[in-house]
């Protein structure tokens, strides 16, 4: 390419050859090089050749739209695929056969038992191809069936008509033969079975082929007691079966060919009724002290065939009432099985009800459940047992209390024991306050008030009043504990006296004396080296708590199960009467140390003291008797033994054998320097007179 002087542009012409090939757009580049008297700033430019040719079009049509299948061999259905447009190149497409229409052909209608498929291909310049679908002949009476050949996935072509349908015409005839019933000639039904229970399923084959559906019906003497599904042959109960009324039924099951001739056949079926009992159980309400709750299981349709036995299982289950296998629960859990023979119409279940002293404001319930019947059915499976409480609202009371005042700068605790007459099944509360008597608030004690809560099942709690010590020699002083506003309880006495005992004298022992009821008596809390006066505690009657702490203390609990604590120092436990501590009202000496001088004071010393070692038994009474036998204990002799984790000291009366109502028996909460080997001990190390 050349430019003359003063020329500024030139044209380069590139000639492109045309074709009819369907192809993508194509590109080429014109490049400048080897300039003379010039430089090249843009060396290349691109040209695009745009394709103007279309893919050929494919269309399918049935060559044979409909024809009979034949009885044997194969019948060819042909479909023509035409290609139009630019056919100068090659083209192809996939094809598949599928069942279509109301009555679809399936794989068994074609050669090889599979739905045909393949690829139709066109060479350059070819405009048509044939797809052949081979149909298998048969002798089955059936409806005309349709199938469709569908083109897909074209290569170098487009599809304008993708599908064509062929129809396989049935050429087989119905011989109108009766159906053949293949189901059995017998069935059973449970007595008392529900209406519409399925009893029998009729089945049959139709030799005419599947074109003619079988219609089912019933006949015979007992047909009115049953129904049958006209299309499915299911025989169901129309009225409840009763063995005692009718032990078996006879029906005719009829199968009819649906074709116009109405050819039918029948089979007589015997339906046996299985004798069954129908179980139910009643609800029961009892008082807590009734001992037992008796539930009645009724068989409203008892066994009557003379050979069978009907059974049903039962078991209790907790509701608001708690069951256990012992007397710890509200009732004793139970389970088992009841057996009903011919004519048995009822059986009973006994549930043990445990009486208690727990106040329960709301009746408690549990259930007895029936399950797993044999030769029977359950009408109602669950019954409710209701336990009405027989206990009165518990009474709350507080015991009088007294304590040494202590010295200036110290405080002691005046403890009131607040108790219920019986445990309650609900929370109980009572308000309390303290009013002055001869003692004054702020000077002799710290005033206090509040609400005391006893949670359900709690028998007692304490209220503590802090006593302020002094060194004044004065009379004993009193204050009053006031109980009010009871919830879930009643108050036996709303005013209880507390005594602050003067301990500021120089000579003599201090004596604490209780009442005929339960007392809490506490001595001086001061510990050595503080000088602690001698203290004497007399509980009199009731189950008392006598606390001496340090120093020299003397305890006489009197009748009742008393708790005696001397702590360190020389302590004497006075038993003028063996009846002050017996098997069923036994004292506990919380701490006993013979090396500190602790002793039991009796009116006379036992003639002998033996240690019987560790005794294993089912109860304390049995353990004591075994210990007496092991030590060969004689009249007026004494015995120490261990049972469980505690030590016990017993003194025999005038007869050799253990007598829980006459022989002294004391429990040691803690026995220091206890013996380790069975044998004879020094009487004077445990007793004094």
User: Would you place residue 525 in the very low, low, confident or very high pLDDT band (cuts 50, 70, 90)?
Assistant: low
Residue 526, pLDDT score: 62
Side-chain half-sphere exposure of 682, counting CA atoms within 13 A: 7
Q: How confident is the model at residue 210 (pLDDT cuts 50, 70, 90)?
A: low
CATH code linked to domain 405-492: 2.60.40.2030
Domain-wise residue ranges, the chain: 180-274, 277-388, 405-492
Average pLDDT over residues 553-567: 90
pLDDT level of residue 245 (50, 70, 90 thresholds) = confident
Show Cβ contacts of residue 55 under 8 Å, excluding neighbours closer than 6 positions: 22, 85, 86, 91, 154, 156, 157, 158
**What integer pLDDT is reported at residue 192 of this predicted model?**
77
> Dihedrals φ, ψ of 112, to 5°?
80, -5
Range 620-629, long-range pairs (CB < 8 A, 24+ positions): 620/583, 620/648, 621/583, 621/660, 623/648, 624/583, 624/648, 624/650, 624/658, 624/660, 624/665, 625/657, 625/658, 628/652, 628/656, 628/657, 628/658
Chain centroid to CA 61: how far? 69
Peptide bond into 529 cis (omega under 30): yes
Which of the pair, 430 or 307, is modelled with greater confidence?
430
Q: For residues 549 and 523, is the Cβ–Cβ distance under 8 A?
A: yes
User: What tens digit of pLDDT does each residue of 273-294 get?
Assistant: 887 788 999 999 999 999 999 9
Q: What is the DSSP string of 349-379?
A: EEEEBPP-S-B-SS-EEEEEEEEEEESEEES
Sequential DSSP letters for 434-453:
EEESSS-BTTTB---EEEEE
Residue 506 has pLDDT above 60, yes or no: no
Give which of 426, 444, 427 is closest to 435, Cα–Cα.
444
Mean confidence (pLDDT) of the chain: 89
Long-range contacts of 505-513 (CB under 8 A, 24+ apart): 505/473, 505/533, 508/533, 508/534, 509/533, 509/534, 509/535, 509/536, 509/554, 510/404, 510/534, 510/535, 510/536, 511/535, 511/536, 511/537, 511/538, 512/402, 512/536, 512/537, 512/538, 512/546, 513/538, 513/540
Q: Which of the four pLDDT bands, split at 50, 70 and 90, describes residue 512?
A: confident
Max avg pLDDT among 178-192, 193-207, 617-631: 617-631
- State the pLDDT at residue 659: 92
| DSSP reduced 3-state for 430 | strand
DSSP for 458-526, please give it. --EEEEEEEEEP-------EEEEEEEEEEESSEES-SEEEEEEE----SSS-EEEE--SS--EEE----
pTM: predicted TM-score of the whole model, two decimal places: 0.45
CB of 403 closer than 8 Å to CB of 415:
yes
Instruction: Kindly state the helix (H) or strand (E) to which residue 627 belongs, with its residue range.
Output: helix 620-631
C-alpha distances in angstroms, 216 versus 179, 196, 235, 255, 554?
11, 17, 10, 5, 105
Dihedral pair phi/psi, residue 438, rounded to 5°: -80, -20
Instruction: Identify which of 455, 315, 471, 289 has the alpha carbon closest to the alpha carbon of residue 383.
Output: 315
Tell me, what's the pLDDT at 224?
A: 92
Q: What are the tokens at 269?
A: 């079926």
Beta bridge partners of residue 120, listed in sequence order: 93
For residue 13 the two structure tokens come to 């012409």
Q: What is the pLDDT of residues 135-176, one digit of tens each?
A: 998 877 778 999 999 999 999 999 999 999 999 988 877 666
Please give the residue that has the higher pLDDT: either 159 or 51: 159
260 pLDDT above the threshold of 60: no
- The SS3 assignment for 409 reads coil
pLDDT in tens, 572-616: 999 988 989 999 999 999 999 999 999 999 878 899 999 999 999
Mean pLDDT of 499-515: 76
Cα 227 from Cα 258, distance rounded (Å):
19
Q: Which of 8-17, 175-184, 330-339 has the lowest mean pLDDT?
A: 175-184
pLDDT reported for residue 78: 93
Confidence (pLDDT) at 175: 64
Residue 594, judged by CB atoms within 10 A of its CB (0-12, 13-18, 19+), counts as: middle
Q: What is the pLDDT of residues 313-325, one digit of tens each?
A: 999 999 999 998 8
CATH topology classification for 180-274: Immunoglobulin-like (2.60.40)
CA distance 392 to 535: 41
pLDDT on residue 189: 87
Assigned token pair, 198: 């399925």
Token pair listed for 424? 């309650």
Encoded tokens for 337: 């099985």
- Exposed, middle or buried by CB within 10 Å (0-12, 13-18, 19+), for 333? middle
Q: Residue-wise over 179-214: b if at least 16 C-beta within 10 A, else e?
A: bebebeeebebbbbbeeeeebbebbbebebbebbeb
Q: Which residue has the higher pLDDT, 274 or 306?
A: 274
Question: How far apart are the C-alpha atoms of 232 and 570, rounded to whole Å?
Answer: 101
Whole-angstrom Cα distance, residue 217 to residue 116?
43
How many whole angstroms separate alpha carbon 97 and alpha carbon 136?
A: 14
Q: Is the pLDDT assigned to residue 297 strictly greater than 80?
A: yes
Residues 458-493 as b or e (16 or more Cβ within 10 Å = b): eeebebebebbbbeeeeeebbbebebeebebbebee
How large is the average pLDDT for residues 202-216?
75
Question: Does residue 624 sit in helix, strand or coil?
Answer: helix
In 3D, which of 240, 380, 356 has the Cα closest to residue 288?
356
Q: How crowded is the C-beta side of 463, counted as CA atoms within 13 Å?
A: 30
pLDDT at 561 exceeding the cut of 60: yes
The confidence score (pLDDT) of residue 483 equals 97
Alpha-carbon span 394 to 428, nearest angstrom: 9
CATH number assigned to the domain covering 277-388: 2.60.40.2030
């Amino acid at each position: 390419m050349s430019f003359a002087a003063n020329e500024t542009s030139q044209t380069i012409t590139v000639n492109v050859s045309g074709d009819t090939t369907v192809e993508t757009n194509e590109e080429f580049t014109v490049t400048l090089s080897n300039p003379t008297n010039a430089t090249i700033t843009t060396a290349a430019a691109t040209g695009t050749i745009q394709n103007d040719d279309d893919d050929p079009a494919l269309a399918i049509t049935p060559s044979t739209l409909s024809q009979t299948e034949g009885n044997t061999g194969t019948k060819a259905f042909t479909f023509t695929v035409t290609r139009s447009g630019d056919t100068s190149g090659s083209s192809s497409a996939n094809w598949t056969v599928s069942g279509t229409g109301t009555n679809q052909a399936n794989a068994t209608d074609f050669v090889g038992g599979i739905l045909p498929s393949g690829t139709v291909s066109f060479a350059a310049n070819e405009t048509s191809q044939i797809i052949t679908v081979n149909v298998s002949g048969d002798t089955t009476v059936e409806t005309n069936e349709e199938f469709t050949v569908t083109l897909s996935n074209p290569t170098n072509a487009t599809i304008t008509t993708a599908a064509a349908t062929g129809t396989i015409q049935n050429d087989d005839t119905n011989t109108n033969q009766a159906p053949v019933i293949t189901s059995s000639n017998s069935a059973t039904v449970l007595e008392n079975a529900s209406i519409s229970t399925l009893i029998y399923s009729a089945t049959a084959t139709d030799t005419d082929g599947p074109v003619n559906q079988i219609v089912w019906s019933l006949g015979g003497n007992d047909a009115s007691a049953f129904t049958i599904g006209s299309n499915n042959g299911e025989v169901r109960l129309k009225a409840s079966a009763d063995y005692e009324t009718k032990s078996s039924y006879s029906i005719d099951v009829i199968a009819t060919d649906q074709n116009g001739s109405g050819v039918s056949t029948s089979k007589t079926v015997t339906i046996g009724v299985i004798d069954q009992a129908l179980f139910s159980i009643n609800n029961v309400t009892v008082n807590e002290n009734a001992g037992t709750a008796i539930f009645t299981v009724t068989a409203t349709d008892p066994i009557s065939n003379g050979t069978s036995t009907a059974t049903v299982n039962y078991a209790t289950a907790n509701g608001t009432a708690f069951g256990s296998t012992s007397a710890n629960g509200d009732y004793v859990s139970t389970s088992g099985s009841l057996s009903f023979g011919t004519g048995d119409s009822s059986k009973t279940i006994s549930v043990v009800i445990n009486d208690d002293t727990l106040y329960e404001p709301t009746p408690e319930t549990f259930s007895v459940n029936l399950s797993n019947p044999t030769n029977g059915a359950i009408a109602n499976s669950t019954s409710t047992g209701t336990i009405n409480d027989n206990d009165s609202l518990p009474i709350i009371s507080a015991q009088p209390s007294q304590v040494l005042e202590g010295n200036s700068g110290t405080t002691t605790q005046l403890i009131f024991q607040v108790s219920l007459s019986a445990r309650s099944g609900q929370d109980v509360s009572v308000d309390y306050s303290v009013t002055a008597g001869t003692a004054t608030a702020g000077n002799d004690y710290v005033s206090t008030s509040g609400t005391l809560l006893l949670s359900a099942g709690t028998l007692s709690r304490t209220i503590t009043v802090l006593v302020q010590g002094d060194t004044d020699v004065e009379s004993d002083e009193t204050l009053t504990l006031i109980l009010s506003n009871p919830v879930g309880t009643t108050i036996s006495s709303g005013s209880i006296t507390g005594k602050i005992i003067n301990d500021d004298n120089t000579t003599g022992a201090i004596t604490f004396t209780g009442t005929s009821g339960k007392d809490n008596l506490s001595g001086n809390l001061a510990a050595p080296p503080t000088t602690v006066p001698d203290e004497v505690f007399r509980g009199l009657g009731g189950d008392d708590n006598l606390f001496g702490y340090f120093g020299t203390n003397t305890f006489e609990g009197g009748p009742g199960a008393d708790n005696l604590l001397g702590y360190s120092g020389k302590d004497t436990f006075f038993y003028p009467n063996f009846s002050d501590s017996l098997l069923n009202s036994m004292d506990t000496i919380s701490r006993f140390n013979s090396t500190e001088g602790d002793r039991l004071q009796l009116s006379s010393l036992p003639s002998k003291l033996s240690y019987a070692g560790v005794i294993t038994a089912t109860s304390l009474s049995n353990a004591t008797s075994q210990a007496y036998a092991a030590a060969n204990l004689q009249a007026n002799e004494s015995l120490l033994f261990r049972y469980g984790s505690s030590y016990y000291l017993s003194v025999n009366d005038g007869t050799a054998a253990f007598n829980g109502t006459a022989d002294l028996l004391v429990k040691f909460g803690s026995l220091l320097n206890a013996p380790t080997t069975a044998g004879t001990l020094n009487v004077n190390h445990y007793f004094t007179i």
